[in-house]
């Protein structure tokens, strides 16, 4: 019985394949996407080259085999006078050939795979000294410890361009995975294991990173950014980050904010500011002094733009502190200020996160924002 | 089972007898054992009331025995 | 249902025994055909449940910053979608089909252990209800279907309870998971033992092992896979229950335990499991293609042996699910090699199937449509799977939507299409009615288009950096359109399923009556009534080739006259 619908099948097939393939090309123009096909470092470059090679091979195999399939369907469909087919049971020669030939190709690819694997972290760097970072996965944010520079930050990993980065991956809770698609493939962060991610960024810029191992309620909101600076900019950044925060901010609103920070039930219960409630970043020491942070270190919060697992962004321009009608400080445009939204109701932004705080008035939020802004 | 060759050489009258002879015997032990097992494992969740678990275990044992001694 | 003669006594004025009522008959049955039907109906019900889970997921992800599902509910839904589809749909459906068809195919009167057969089914039903009932308590499993430790631990080391967020998954959610897995494992083990003994001991005279149908071969291999892989996950589940409730620390670092122990144990089951899900579908395709191409399967021996090879090799590849966890490079290279090896028998089968239709006389009835769709879609799944074996590429795309694309092409484009091919093929044998061809075509095309609309964009989403298992995504990452397309595709699949359900219901009520051999098929199950008598065969046939029914219908050109098997 002829199925009339098959008359259009070739056209359908062509349209569908064209749609699918063109959508693939769209991918290359990923635009804002953290695309693995926009490599900005040697590791991602090797991995992305591998993809293009795979794509070519897979497309050829697909076209050939699918083509054979469609050809057979069309050529051998039953027609009113078609005779009974020859009852072939098989052909040993053909079957051996089509086992050996693909095997050969598969093994060539395997050798390429293994060769690339073992050479993945072999690349040249403009900077002769590698940078040692410790990456700690929390639920649900990323802590970055610069072991030699004694700096602790969160949400943003600042690195110099052209420098080999050796990132030690630690977790004291569940498994996470450390991934920046444009720079390197992921490595899991496994409690009890000392996994290492080695990579390098060859271009200045900002790259999105994500947790890629399901780690609980807010796994979707455990993102971060890698900010790649020129060597000079990076050195300047390190110098400023190594300073302690001042114990008395000059601005009165900021001072009030610091009081809130230090007050009973205040932020210092979970957050540390070196020079204010922390002598130094003791937890970077190994041994008895090491302790796990509850909340991100805020010593230089003012220099960061991403908060809460990069769920929200903020900057001074969108979080302007003004004097409100009652003479009290307030935020000019709260809806545009990510930091306001976070402090106003963190559980609404990221339900289940550890940031469980009492309700803060707009005045208190403005004071805190003024203080945090000052922590540059 | 595979030896039941020439059974239906006489269709018609003795078909029903043949059906009876060859048809698999019914039994309630499979569902009873399955239910007992479920009860036992539900009892693990409800360990704050261990009685559920132990009743389940008892039923499982009874089911094993019943199954074992059933004529089949 | 067979008629029964009341042979005891003359008086009919007494209460019927439970076993004589309609319900009682089904509850107490040990007939492989009835049990097969119960398996399949139950499995289809859970297919719909899992499908609703999928539609909920896709609705939440259709747009960025979706607010359809809270993160807690989303995590339960995506976990249960996989658990339901794998353990409560595909496995029981394939077991049910096997249960019904395999004894008929090999010329037996029933399975070797009829009561254990029934037991296996009831456990699936109860386990399925148990697992799904967890939703009613708001505590459905929520740590992913592969349930990585230590997320599944009840509390972090040194703490007695979970804080607002810290370290673990409070609540009985993962207890439901572990217990459900244990129950289903017991069911699968009993079914597997039954299949192994039945297939090895109850074949009709003359049916040597290399004359039995390929569906039987694949079912046999699957049964062995289950028997050898289930102990791993059984152990893993028991250990996590011990960790959760008795204070052990098998998976907790800092107490001497290791989270990776879970992964090794789980994937030692999990990888053979995916072959358990696909091999019977390979078998179905190998039955359907020859019948609708009017010639024998091309390369029976190669297909059978490649199944065996896949069976053995499937135990050597498990850590390809773990390339990113930090295993030594040499170990990763080993698993890359074993994964490459296992691609070979899988690829060969595709060529054999194309060789079957090549030179044939193809009729595109419903079973054939799905069989051909299977080949087309499984090829894609095989190609993106082979890509995942290329380790450095895997580092980029593992745990992203690229993997979601792969697994759905092989499980949906593969197993589900294979299952529908089997349903359309054997439905007339089981019910005596033929499913409507027009509706079947609508079902097929909608499902094929839906499948590709849903899952092809996911390849790209993975390349664009979208991780798995996220309940929402931001507006500005370029993922919006592709997610929307995937959602439209998912609803298209949903509509195609409704078409099938409609076809099923209408056919049972007033469908076209089928002869005993509507497809002019080759194997023994067709040499019976539709539906078969309770005793299957009046006379157990003697078999002289791989196509005994073909031989019987075509004595001049019988296989045994031209080939020696």
Tens of pLDDT, residues B42-70: 898 777 789 999 999 999 999 999 999 99
Report the neighbours of C using a cutoff of 3 or more CB pairs below 8 angstroms.
Answer: A, B
CA dist C58 and A255 (Å) reads 48
Considering C152, C169, C187, C222, which one is annotated as catalytic?
Answer: C187
- Residue window 335-394, chain C: list those with CB within 8 Å of chain A: 336-337, 340, 343-344, 347-348, 350-352, 354-355, 357-365, 372, 375-376, 379-380, 383-384, 386-387, 389-394
CA dist A179 and A190 (Å) reads 14
Nearest to C192 by CA among C279, C107, C263: C279
Q: Which two tokens stand for residue B34?
A: 């399955």
Q: Which residues of C touch B43 (CB under 8 A)?
A: none
Give the alpha-carbon dihedral of A255, A258, A263, A268, to 10 degrees.
-170
In DSSP terms, A278 is beta-bridged to A274
> Hey, is C160 helix, strand or coil?
coil
Handedness of CA C42, C44, C45, C50 (dihedral sign): positive
Contact C464 A35 (CB under 8 A): yes
Considering C79, C132, C188, C356, which one is annotated as catalytic?
Answer: C188
pLDDT at position A136? 93
With CA atoms as reference, the chain C residue closest to A66 would be C376
With CA atoms as reference, the chain C residue closest to B68 would be C115
Whether C540 contacts chain B with CB within 8 A: yes
DSSP at B12 = S
pLDDT over threshold 90, residue C159 = no
Handedness of CA C502, C504, C510, C514 (dihedral sign): positive
Q: Which two tokens stand for residue A53?
A: 């090679």
ipTM above 0.90, yes or no: yes
Contact C2 B37 (CB under 8 A): no
Considering C110, C287, C394, C551, which one is annotated as catalytic?
Answer: C110
Identify whether C468 is a catalytic site residue: yes
Show the CA angle centred on residue C450, arms to residues C445 and C456, nearest 5°.
Answer: 125
C-alpha to C-alpha distances, C213 to A228, B19, C31, C152, nearest whole angstrom: 62, 27, 22, 43
Kindly indicate the confidence band of residue C166, based on its pLDDT and cuts at 50, 70 and 90: very low
Chain A: nearest CA to C147, how far in angstroms? 9
DSSP letters along A237-294, please?
Answer: HHHHHHSPPPSS-SSHHHHHHHHHHHSTTSGGGT---BTTTBSS-GGGS-GGG----S
C-alpha to C-alpha distances, A117 to A122, A201, C197, nearest whole angstrom: 10, 19, 45
Q: Which residues of B touch C5 (CB under 8 A)?
A: 16, 19-20
Q: Which residues of C touch B41 (CB under 8 A)?
A: 130, 179, 182-183
Q: Which residues of A touch C363 (CB under 8 A)?
A: 1, 77-78
Across the interface, of C150, C298, C467, the residue whose CB is closest to A174 is: C150
Whether B13 contacts chain C with CB within 8 A: no
CB pairs under 8 A between B and C: 112
Distance of CA C317 to the CA centre of its chain: 20
DSSP letters along A261-275, please?
Answer: HHSTTSGGGT---BT
Nearest to A366 by CA among A311, A302, A313, A323: A323
Contact C376 A69 (CB under 8 A): yes
Q: Which residues of B touch C123 (CB under 8 A)?
A: 34, 37-38
Q: Are C61 and C79 in contact (CB under 8 A)?
A: no
Identify whether C264 is a catalytic site residue: no
Across the interface, of C301, C361, C477, the residue whose CB is closest to A32 is: C477
Chains B/A: 3 or more C-beta pairs closer than 8 A?
Answer: no
Half-sphere exposure of B41 toward its Cβ, with a 13 Å CA cutoff?
Answer: 27
Rg (CA), chain A: 28
Kindly indicate the confidence band of residue C5, based on its pLDDT and cuts at 50, 70 and 90: low
CA dist A212 and C398 (Å) reads 9
Contact A118 C471 (CB under 8 A): no
The neighbour count for residue C160, using CB atoms within 10 Å, is 7
pLDDT at position C7? 55
CB pairs under 8 A between A and C: 313
Instruction: Give Cβ neighbours of residue A4 (< 8 Å, ≥ 6 apart).
Output: none
Nearest to A6 by CA among A55, A93, A79, A77: A77
Q: Which residues of chain A have pLDDT under 50?
A: 1-8, 28, 288-289
Identify whether C188 is a catalytic site residue: yes
End-to-end Cα distance, chain A: 77
- Residue window 314-343, chain C: list those with CB within 8 Å of chain A: 324-326, 329, 332-333, 336-337, 340, 343
Instruction: Give Cβ neighbours of residue B55 (< 8 Å, ≥ 6 apart).
Output: B39, B43
In which order are the strands placed within the sheet that holds A205-211? A156-160, A223-229, A205-211, A176-180, A184-189
Tens of pLDDT, residues C528-555: 998 999 999 988 999 999 999 999 999 9
Cβ neighbourhood burial of C452 (10 Å; 0-12, 13-18, 19+): buried
CA dist C243 and C252 (Å) reads 9
> What are the backbone dihedrals phi and psi of residue C427, each rounded to the nearest 5 degrees, phi first?
-55, -50
Nearest to B32 by CA among C115, C193, C21, C36: C115
pLDDT at position C304? 96
pLDDT at position A72? 96
Across the interface, of C30, C175, C186, the residue whose CB is closest to B27 is: C30
Report the neighbours of A using a cutoff of 3 or more CB pairs below 8 angstroms.
Answer: C
Which residue reads 């252990």 in tokens?
A: C113
Q: What percent of chain C has pLDDT over 90?
A: 87
DSSP at A83 = P
Strands, DSSP E only, in C479-524? 512-513
Contact C534 B44 (CB under 8 A): no
Chains B/C: 3 or more C-beta pairs closer than 8 A?
Answer: yes
Q: Tell me which H or E stretch contains A36.
A: none
Identify whether C232 is a catalytic site residue: no
Across the interface, of C259, C351, C449, the residue whose CB is closest to A175 is: C259
Nearest to C245 by CA among C180, C175, C147: C175
Contact C399 A213 (CB under 8 A): yes
Considering C145, C401, C409, C526, which one is annotated as catalytic?
Answer: C145
Contact C25 B37 (CB under 8 A): no
pLDDT at position B17? 64
Considering C33, C203, C295, C349, which one is annotated as catalytic?
Answer: C349
DSSP letters along C2-53, please?
Answer: ------S-S---SPPPGGGSHHHHHHT---HHHHHHHHHHHHHHHHHHHHHH
Chain A: nearest CA to C333, how far in angstroms? 6
pLDDT at position A17? 61
Contact B8 C539 (CB under 8 A): yes
pLDDT at position C564? 77
With CA atoms as reference, the chain A residue closest to C61 would be A220
Whether C193 contacts chain B with CB within 8 A: no
Whether B27 contacts chain C with CB within 8 A: yes
- Residue window 12-31, chain A: list those with CB within 8 Å of chain C: 16, 20, 23-24, 26-27, 30-31
Q: Which residues of C touch A269 (CB under 8 A)?
A: none
Give the alpha-carbon dihedral of C55, C58, C62, C64, to 10 degrees.
140
pLDDT at position A202? 96
Q: Which residue has the higher pLDDT, C211 or C153?
A: C211
pLDDT over threshold 60, residue B13 = no
Whether B30 contacts chain C with CB within 8 A: yes
Q: Which residue has the higher pLDDT, C415 or C9?
A: C415
Instruction: Give Cβ neighbours of residue C399 (< 8 Å, ≥ 6 apart).
Output: A177, A179, A186, A212, A213, C324, C467, C468
Chain C: nearest CA to A215, how far in angstroms? 7
Identify whether C244 is a catalytic site residue: no
- Does the predicted model carry a pTM greater than 0.90? yes
Whether A108 contacts chain C with CB within 8 A: no
Contact B41 C179 (CB under 8 A): yes
pLDDT at position C10? 54
Q: Which residue has the higher pLDDT, A5 or C43?
A: C43
Nearest to C532 by CA among C516, C550, C545, C518: C516
pLDDT at position C169? 64
pLDDT at position C293? 97
Instruction: Give Cβ neighbours of residue C213 (< 8 Å, ≥ 6 apart).
Output: C105, C106, C283, C286, C287, C523, C524, C546
Whether C231 contacts chain A with CB within 8 A: no
Q: Which two tokens stand for residue C172?
A: 């009985």
pLDDT at position A325? 83
pLDDT over threshold 90, residue C253 = no
CA dist C357 and A72 (Å) reads 7
Interface test with C, best of A27, A172, A350 (most C CBs within 10 A): A27
pLDDT at position C154? 79
Rounded mean pLDDT of C420-436? Answer: 97
3-state SS, C310-333, equals HHHHCCCCHHHHCCCCCCCHHHHH
pLDDT at position C247? 84
């Amino acid at each position: 019985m002829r199925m009339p619908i098959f008359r259009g099948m070739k056209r359908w097939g062509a349209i569908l394949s064209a749609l699918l393939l063109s959508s693939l090309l769209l991918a290359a123009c990923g635009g804002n996407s953290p695309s693995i096909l926009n490599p900005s470092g040697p590791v991602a470059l090797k991995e992305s080259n591998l993809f293009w090679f795979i794509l070519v091979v897979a497309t050829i195999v697909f076209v050939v085999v699918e083509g054979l399939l469609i050809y057979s369907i069309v050529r051998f469909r039953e027609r009113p006078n078609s005779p009974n087919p020859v009852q072939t049971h098989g052909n040993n020669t053909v079957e051996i050939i089509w086992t050996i030939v693909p095997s050969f190709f598969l093994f060539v690819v395997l050798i390429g795979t293994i060769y690339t694997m073992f050479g993945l972290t072999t690349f040249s760097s403009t900077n002769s000294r590698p940078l040692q970072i410790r990456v700690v996965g929390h639920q649900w944010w990323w802590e970055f410890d610069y072991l030699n520079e004694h700096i602790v930050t969160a949400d943003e990993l600042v690195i110099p361009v052209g420098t080999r980065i050796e990132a030690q991956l630690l977790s004291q809770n569940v498994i996470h995975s450390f991934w920046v698609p444009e720079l390197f493939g992921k490595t899991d962060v496994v409690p009890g294991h000392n996994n290492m991610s080695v990579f390098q960024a060859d271009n200045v810029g900002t790259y999105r990173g994500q947790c890629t191992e399901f780690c609980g309620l807010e796994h979707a909101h455990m993102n971060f950014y890698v900010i790649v600076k020129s060597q000079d900019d990076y050195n300047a950044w390190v110098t400023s980050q190594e300073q302690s925060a001042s114990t008395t901010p000059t601005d009165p609103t900021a001072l009030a904010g610091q009081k809130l920070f230090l007050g009973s039930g205040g932020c210092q219960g979970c957050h540390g500011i070196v020079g204010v409630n922390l002598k130094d970043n003791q937890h970077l020491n190994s041994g008895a002094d090491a302790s796990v942070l509850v909340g991100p270190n805020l010593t230089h919060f003012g220099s960061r733009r991403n908060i809460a697992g990069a769920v929200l962004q903020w900057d001074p321009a969108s979080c302007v502190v003004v004097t409100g009608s009652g003479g009290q400080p307030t935020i000019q445009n709260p809806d545009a200020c990510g930091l306001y939204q976070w402090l106003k109701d963190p559980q609404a932004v990221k339900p289940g996160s550890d940031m469980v705080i009492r309700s803060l008035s707009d005045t208190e939020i403005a004071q805190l924002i003024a203080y945090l802004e000052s922590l540059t | 089972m595979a030896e039941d060759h020439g059974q239906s050489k006489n269709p018609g009258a003795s078909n029903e007898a043949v059906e009876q002879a060859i048809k698999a015997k019914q039994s309630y032990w499979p569902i009873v054992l399955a239910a007992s097992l479920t009860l036992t494992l539900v009892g693990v969740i409800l360990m704050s009331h261990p009685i559920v678990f132990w009743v389940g275990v008892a039923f499982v044992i009874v089911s094993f025995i019943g199954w074992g001694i059933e004529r089949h | 249902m067979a008629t029964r003669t009341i042979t005891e006594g003359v008086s009919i004025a007494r209460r019927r025994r439970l076993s004589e009522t309609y319900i009682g008959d089904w509850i107490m049955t040990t007939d492989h055909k009835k049990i097969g039907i119960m398996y399949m109906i139950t499995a289809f019900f859970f297919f719909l449940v899992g499908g609703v889970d999928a539609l909920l997921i896709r609705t939440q992800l259709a747009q960025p910053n979706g607010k359809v599902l809270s993160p807690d509910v989303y995590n339960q839904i995506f976990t249960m979608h996989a658990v339901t589809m794998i353990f409560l749909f595909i496995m029981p459906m394939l077991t049910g089909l096997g249960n019904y068809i395999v004894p008929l195919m090999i010329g037996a009167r029933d399975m070797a252990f009829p009561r254990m057969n029934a037991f296996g089914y009831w456990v699936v039903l109860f386990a399925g209800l148990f697992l799904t009932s967890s939703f009613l308590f708001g505590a459905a499993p929520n740590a992913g279907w592969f349930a990585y430790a230590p997320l599944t631990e009840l509390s972090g080391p040194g703490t007695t309870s979970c804080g607002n967020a810290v370290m673990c998954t409070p609540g009985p959610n993962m207890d439901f998971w572990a217990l459900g897995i244990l129950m289903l494992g017991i069911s699968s083990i009993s079914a597997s033992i039954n299949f192994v003994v039945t297939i090895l001991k109850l074949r009709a005279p003359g049916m040597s092992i290399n004359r039995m149908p390929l569906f039987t071969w694949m079912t046999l291999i699957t049964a062995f896979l289950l028997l050898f892989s289930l102990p791993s996950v059984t152990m893993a589940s028991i250990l996590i229950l011990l960790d959760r409730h008795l204070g052990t620390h098998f998976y907790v670092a800092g107490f001497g335990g290791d989270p990776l122990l879970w992964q090794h144990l789980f994937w030692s089951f999990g990888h053979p499991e995916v072959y358990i899900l696909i091999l019977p579908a390979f078998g179905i395709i190998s039955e359907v293609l020859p019948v609708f191409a009017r010639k024998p399967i091309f390369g029976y021996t190669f297909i059978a042996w490649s199944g065996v090879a896949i069976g053995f090799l499937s135990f050597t590849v498990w850590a390809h699910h773990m390339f990113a966890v930090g295993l030594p490079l040499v170990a990763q290279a080993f698993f890359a090699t074993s994964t490459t090896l296992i691609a070979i028998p899988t690829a060969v089968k595709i060529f054999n199937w194309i060789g079957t239709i090549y030179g044939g006389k193809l009729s595109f009835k419903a079973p054939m449509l799905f069989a051909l769709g299977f080949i087309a879609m499984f090829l894609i799944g095989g190609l993106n799977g082979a890509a995942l074996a290329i380790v450095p590429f895997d580092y980029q795309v593992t745990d992203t939507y690229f993997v979601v694309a792969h697994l759905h092409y092989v499980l949906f484009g593969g197993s589900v299409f294979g299952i529908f091919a089997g349903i359309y093929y054997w439905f007339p044998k089981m019910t005596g009615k033929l499913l409507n061809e027009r509706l079947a075509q609508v079902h097929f095309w909608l499902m094929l288009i839906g499948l590709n609309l849903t899952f092809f964009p996911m390849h790209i989403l993975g390349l664009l950096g979208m991780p798995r298992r996220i309940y929402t995504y931001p507006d500005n990452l370029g993922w919006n359109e592709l997610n929307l397309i995937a959602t439209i595709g998912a609803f298209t699949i949903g509509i195609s399923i409704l078409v099938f359900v409609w076809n099923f219901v209408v056919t049972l009520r007033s469908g076209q009556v089928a002869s005993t051999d509507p497809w002019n098929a080759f194997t023994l199950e067709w040499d019976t009534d539709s539906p078969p008598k309770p005793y299957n065969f009046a006379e157990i046939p003697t078999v002289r080739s791989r196509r005994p029914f073909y031989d019987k219908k075509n004595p001049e050109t019988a296989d045994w006259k031209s080939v020696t098997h």
